[in-house]
Structure 1
């Protein structure tokens, strides 16, 4: 190794980086690496929102690499990676440190004697280089082995790189859209799952580049396409016992698991500002695309926003990969904890396609609607803190303004290669 990439993910879901030579890593770990807090106000196109608490030229932070996650990068020979915790210069956690928020919420769970395990499904499309248009690098049928054969060496190199990096892959398969694939990884603690989501995406990006290919994780690569999701899977445990199995509730849910799921379901409109945080997200969240655009739940129902995986976990299907994974796990756990505090109950599950029913509520259909729901959600605002919550809203409204009056094709093109 000659250098270490120290990354954090901003509020727009972009992985930002500062790097140090390997010889400088001990100093970076001890004292941190300087970085401006202005990144809290970055939009996906690198423009800067003049927000209420971020966006100016004044101030400095310290990036402290987490050496427990230090990983030599198989897809970038000579490089290693470590996620950063962001601290103020006086040593306190930066009030908008996304990774720190995820850890704080996980600690709240632990204080209740609970453990959460989480994992992300990472969907992406692989395209040809040399053009900003999307030209799929594999043309075989959806879910077809022929598609995987077309990029067999690429897929093998990707799996080998992830294995070398200590990432436990559960499965890799072609997805529905042209050139689309999905990789799922083993469940971990919430912060670890978010770290792994970052590492997996950047590994996909690196291996794609080494094969002269280009990866896009955008929720809408083509305006008339299916789009990429970033589904979150969550399970709860107490004293080594799973709470999503063996209970007296619907489909074997324990009372605690039902209350947790009900809290997430109740919070979904506001959670969309976190898990579906881009204008392009709402091009994906449409009926009959298995995107989970309905505020409902069901057993193995892939059109409801919440899918109960029988006896195992809860899948939040509406989320996509323009989201910051640390904020996703933090906000979802906060909503679930609120449901547990209220002993919330789930409504009746749906066993049919919600689009066939007349009165199933939709999730927000625009980013502006999601931001309004987020700002009205006292539970999330309190968990984030006033400064953090206000900046999230400012950044989301900045993206809304950025794409004001812009058509779907232009939104897809502008977003395509940013995530």
Structure 2
């Protein structure tokens, strides 16, 4: 089938612990061999920072050893934005075929299995925001490719052919886009995709983002998914929508708890809320993330939740009347696209499972912008601002027994080491220098 469609190569991808998508590709004639025997790949990539420097940690960063990448052929996709190429996400295994302890996709699958054993399934979707800039040879500056106002139809008119080709490419690859529109920041757009099972949602995030990148380049543009493309501007979020299901029913709707939630939905949400500071270590893994995660930027800078409150880290979405049984979900607003989506899946579900296991209670919802409350009022309501640096979230993750147990010793230790190393790399850098350093890394 691939040869008949003039496909010459298949790119297999995994996402490293710093949120960068890495790849090895094989000629199409070698795909069967790759599926059976895997593709060689060093485990050193577990210890890569965003600038490709390597941290020599306790469990990662050594030049010794080798892994095998096994393409998941159930997700094999012909790439509409890269003629002649196909793609498949990879699972990483040791040479003896056992899972690599730092393979994030395998971890996510393992936590999804734990969720099923508890009697639940989940539906997830990642929002994808990006800033489209002019691809100017020899320059890494950001020059917006469109000039219309935020959310303005003028911006869609300017980029009409580009967005048409992007919509076609996503559809040809089986990605169901539910919305595509201009966003707030200069040159910014957003695609919202349909919810899927968690592993598929993470795969779709990787595929959709690289499709946007490819179509952008073919139109003379460059796509930045960085949390802060330009210092002082509005960054790109990577909001995650999550609903929990039992016996075919969305338990975020039709219940007797607040806003129609069921009691298990509240406990699951309470678990995520409780573990959010530590979860930032996987959901906001760039120094630029903390230029975005500030109050009154709709970034979810406060550890709180509320009904349709875009300033709390968790926003509860009921959906329209009559559609709530399907659409009600929890949106995690604090995360961005420097995240490894498989670690996000594992982290959110592990935190939610802890909420269910311990019967954790969800506090009162916040019905105002938390930034407008006096400090004493925030204290009285138990509202705290989220950690403000990679160093702080590394400390929070290291102290979180639930997430450390779920991730395993090797992966948990490596995440902490990488966040501290990335923090040290930028600790004295200006906002402008941070934004410029990671602008085209994501």
TM-score by length of 1: 0.99
Name which of 211, 214, 221 aligns with 1:206.
214
Supply the distance in 1 between the matched residues of 2:65 and 2:351 (Cα, whole angstroms). Answer: 32
What CA deviation, in whole Å up to 9, does each residue of 1:137-179 have, x standing for no partner? 0110000010011111000000000000000000001000010
The equivalences for 1:179-190 within 5 A come to 179-190=187-198
Instruction: Quote the residue 1:324 is aligned against.
Output: 340
What CA deviation, in whole Å up to 9, does each residue of 1:14-48 have, x standing for no partner? 00000000010000000000000000000111110
What CA deviation, in whole Å up to 9, does each residue of 1:202-239 have, x standing for no partner? 00000001011000000001110010000000001111
What CA deviation, in whole Å up to 9, does each residue of 1:95-139 have, x standing for no partner? 000000110000011111211000000000000011211100011
| Residue 47 (structure 2) pairs with residue 24 (structure 1) | no
Instruction: Quote the residue 2:43 is aligned against.
Output: 37
Instruction: Quote the residue 1:72 is aligned against.
Output: 78
Supply the distance in 2 between the matched residues of 1:148 and 1:275 (Cα, whole angstroms). Answer: 30
Name which of 151, 159, 178 aligns with 2:186.
178
Instruction: Quote the residue 1:390 is aligned against.
Output: 413
Supply the distance in 2 between the matched residues of 1:113 and 1:416 (Cα, whole angstroms). Answer: 42
| Offset at residue 404 of structure 1 (A) | 2.3
- Which consecutive unaligned segments of at least 5 residues does structure 2 have? 1-6, 319-323
Instruction: Quote the residue 1:123 is aligned against.
Output: 129
What CA deviation, in whole Å up to 9, does each residue of 1:252-281 have, x standing for no partner? 110110000000000000001110111110
TM-score by length of 2: 0.94
Instruction: Quote the residue 1:2 is aligned against.
Output: 8
Supply the distance in 1 between the matched residues of 2:264 and 2:285 (Cα, whole angstroms). Answer: 29
Instruction: Quote the residue 1:156 is aligned against.
Output: 164
Instruction: Quote the residue 1:236 is aligned against.
Output: 244
Deviates more, 1:395-404 or 1:69-78: 395-404
Runs of 4+ in 1 over 3 A off after TM superposition: none
| Offset at residue 367 of structure 1 (A) | 1.0
The equivalences for 1:129-278 within 5 A come to 129-130=135-136, 131-278=139-286
Supply the distance in 2 between the matched residues of 1:384 and 1:207 (Cα, whole angstroms). Answer: 35
| Offset at residue 249 of structure 1 (A) | 0.8
Name which of 353, 358, 361 aligns with 2:384.
361
Supply the distance in 1 between the matched residues of 2:33 and 2:264 (Cα, whole angstroms). Answer: 45
What CA deviation, in whole Å up to 9, does each residue of 1:313-353 have, x standing for no partner? 00000000000000011101100000000111111101111
| Residue 96 (structure 2) pairs with residue 107 (structure 1) | no
Question: 1:117 aligns to what SS in structure 2?
Answer: strand
Supply the distance in 1 between the matched residues of 2:130 and 2:57 (Cα, whole angstroms). Answer: 31
What CA deviation, in whole Å up to 9, does each residue of 1:360-403 have, x standing for no partner? 31010111111100000000000000111000111111111111
Supply the distance in 2 between the matched residues of 1:182 and 1:110 (Cα, whole angstroms). Answer: 32
Supply the distance in 2 between the matched residues of 1:96 and 1:200 (Cα, whole angstroms). Answer: 24
| Residue 435 (structure 2) pairs with residue 416 (structure 1) | no
Instruction: Quote the residue 2:3 is aligned against.
Output: none
Supply the distance in 1 between the matched residues of 2:390 and 2:417 (Cα, whole angstroms). Answer: 12
Name which of 331, 341, 352 aligns with 2:368.
352
| Offset at residue 90 of structure 1 (A) | 1.1
| Offset at residue 408 of structure 1 (A) | 0.7
Name which of 338, 341, 358 aligns with 1:342.
358
Instruction: Quote the residue 2:65 is aligned against.
Output: 59
Question: 2:384 aligns to what SS in structure 1?
Answer: coil
Count how many residue pairs are aligned between Structure 1 and Structure 2: 419
Supply the distance in 2 between the matched residues of 1:242 and 1:393 (Cα, whole angstroms). Answer: 35
| Residue 38 (structure 2) pairs with residue 15 (structure 1) | no
Instruction: Quote the residue 2:321 is aligned against.
Output: none
CA RMSD of aligned residues (A): 0.6
Instruction: Quote the residue 1:377 is aligned against.
Output: 400
What CA deviation, in whole Å up to 9, does each residue of 1:37-85 have, x standing for no partner? 0000001111101111110110000000000000000000000000000
What CA deviation, in whole Å up to 9, does each residue of 1:282-302 have, x standing for no partner? 000001100000000000000
Name which of 291, 296, 317 aligns with 1:309.
317
Supply the distance in 2 between the matched residues of 1:42 and 1:149 (Cα, whole angstroms). Answer: 40
